[in-house]
Structure formats: C-alpha cells, structure tokens
C-alpha cells in the first residue's frame, strides 16, 4: 500500500507541470501587427476600415494612433475620428465620452467646431432611437433630454463659431429641436385630454403656447386648451382661447372640428 501511494506523487507532479506549461503558453501576449507601423500608416489603415464600414476595427487603430502621435495635431484628429467611428458603430455613449474628453483637453483646437457639431449629432440621432423608422416615431414622442443636450451643443457651436461650415446645418437642427420640444408638450397634453385629465392637459398645452412661441405645435396646443376648458365648463376661457386661435390661424379653424392633430409630413432630417 505504501508503494502504491508513493507512485502517485510523480504522476501528480507531471500533471501540475503540464498545467503550468499550458497556462504559460496561453498567457503569451498577442503580437501587435502595428508595432512597426508609422503614425501615418496607422491613420491610413484606420481610414480604410472606416471607408469599408468596419468601424469596430477602426476604433482600436485610432486609439493606437492617439498614443503613438501624442501631442501632435494628428493625435487630435485621431480622437475626433474615433468618436465618429464609435457613433457609426452604434456606440453613442462611448462617442460622447470621447468628444467630452476632447473638448476638455483641447479647448483651443481648430477641430473644436467639429467636436461640438458631432456631440450635437450624436444626441440628435440617439433621440430618434433604433426603431424610429419602423414605428414612425417622432422626436416629440420620446424623452427630451437628448434633444436638449443636442440643442445646447449646436447653440454653443453657432455662438462660438458662426462662420463654421457646420453652423448652418446646426441652426436648422436647432429649429427642429425647438419645434420638437413644443410638440412634446402637446403630445403629453393630448394624452391627458384623451383620458379626461383636462386640468393636466391645460397645464401642458399652456407650456407649449407660452414657452415656445411661433412653433407649429402652438395651433394644436390652443385647440387642446379650448376643448379642455369646454369640458370643464370654463366658457369664458374657452371663448378667449378660440378667439386667439381664429386670429392666429384663420385657415385652420376646422382643426377643432377634425379633432386633435392631422397627419404630419416627414421632417426635413428624415432620409429613409
């Protein structure tokens, strides 16, 4: 019995040695194929991946370039293009983190206008959501935080860089976002009205009328106000609202008869 027990020891030692050898082999670091590449070649390869739509492959190349070309304009360019690749790879959180870091570290960069524009774009499209083209969902029917963040980025861009090539598009998107925010209030007011919560409907419709002037949603907001006042028996306020509606929208007087909201045309940004 003693001999049998002793014979087990070499076998265990052999297994242990083989396991250690396997662990050692598996931990061998992968060869970095870019180790001998110049910064310009890394940039060229990353751009090729972007052109091919391989954004997930482009991101690590841009990250390597940031390290290799640190402190140079090329490194800043790599950071901006990495944000774009992250955005196209459907990683908006990572793209925003990259852009925020760029804005914080390079306040005087000549690429600052593009960074602000891209930050606005990421939030603008994030607000649409992945299934917006399927559900025909409008920005006004979604949470508005991203829209407000997008507006702030576009506003900073247009204020600081009025002559930037990106400013005209940013200003158009700002107009759309303001209209969207107003329509959001109308969307909520319409929801309350349809459920008989007339006081709540009045409160949200009034926000659309008072805080967002000269927007398309104001007409429906006034209709909801008039209908809600009527439902509550507040005839004086109902009549006052109808007079405002008739004065400002003489050609849309039949809207209240048709109901709340006709089908809207596709927004200017819709490309599908």
Per-residue pLDDT reduced to its tens digit, 158-195:
999 999 999 999 999 999 999 988 998 999 999 999 99
d(CA 152, CA 178): 11
91 inside domain: yes
Q: How confident is the model at residue 271 (pLDDT cuts 50, 70, 90)?
A: very low
Q: How confident is the model at residue 264 (pLDDT cuts 50, 70, 90)?
A: very low
Sequence-distant (6+) residues with CB within 8 A of 46 are 58, 61, 62, 65, 78, 81, 85
Cα R_g (the chain), whole angstroms: 30
Domain count, the chain: 1
Query: Which pLDDT belongs to residue 214?
Result: 84
Full residue range of the structural domain in which residue 81 is found: 39-105
Given a cut of 90, whether residue 265 has pLDDT beyond it is: no
d(CA 110, CA 66): 17
186 inside domain: no
Given a cut of 50, whether residue 225 has pLDDT beyond it is: yes
């Amino acid at each position: 019995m003693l001999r049998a027990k002793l014979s087990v020891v070499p076998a265990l030692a052999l297994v242990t040695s083989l396991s250690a050898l396997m662990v050692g082999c598996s931990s061998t670091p992968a060869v970095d194929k870019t180790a001998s590449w110049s910064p310009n070649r890394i940039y060229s390869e990353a751009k090729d991946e972007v052109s091919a739509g391989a954004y997930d492959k482009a991101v690590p190349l841009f990250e390597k370039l940031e390290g290799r070309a640190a402190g140079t304009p090329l490194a800043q360019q790599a950071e901006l293009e990495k944000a774009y690749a992250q955005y196209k790879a459907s990683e908006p959180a990572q793209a925003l983190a990259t852009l925020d870091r760029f804005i914080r570290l390079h306040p005087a960069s000549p690429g600052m206008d593009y960074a602000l524009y891209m930050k606005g774009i990421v939030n603008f499209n994030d607000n649409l959501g992945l299934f917006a083209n399927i559900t025909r969902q409008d920005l006004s029917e979604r949470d508005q935080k991203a829209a407000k963040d997008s507006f702030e980025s576009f506003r900073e861009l247009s204020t600081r860089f009025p002559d930037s090539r990106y400013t005209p598009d940013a200003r158009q998107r700002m107009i759309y976002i303001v209209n969207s925010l107003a329509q959001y209030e109308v969307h909520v007011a319409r929801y309350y009205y349809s459920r008989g919560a007339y006081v709540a409907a009045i409160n949200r419709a009034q926000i659309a009328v008072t805080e967002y002037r000269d927007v398309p949603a104001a007409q429906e907001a006034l209709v909801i106000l008039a209908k809600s006042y009527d439902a509550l028996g507040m005839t004086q306020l109902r009549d006052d609202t109808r007079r405002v509606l008739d004065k400002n929208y003489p050609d849309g007087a039949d809207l209240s008869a048709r109901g709340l909201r006709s089908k809207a045309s596709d927004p200017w940004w819709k490309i599908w």
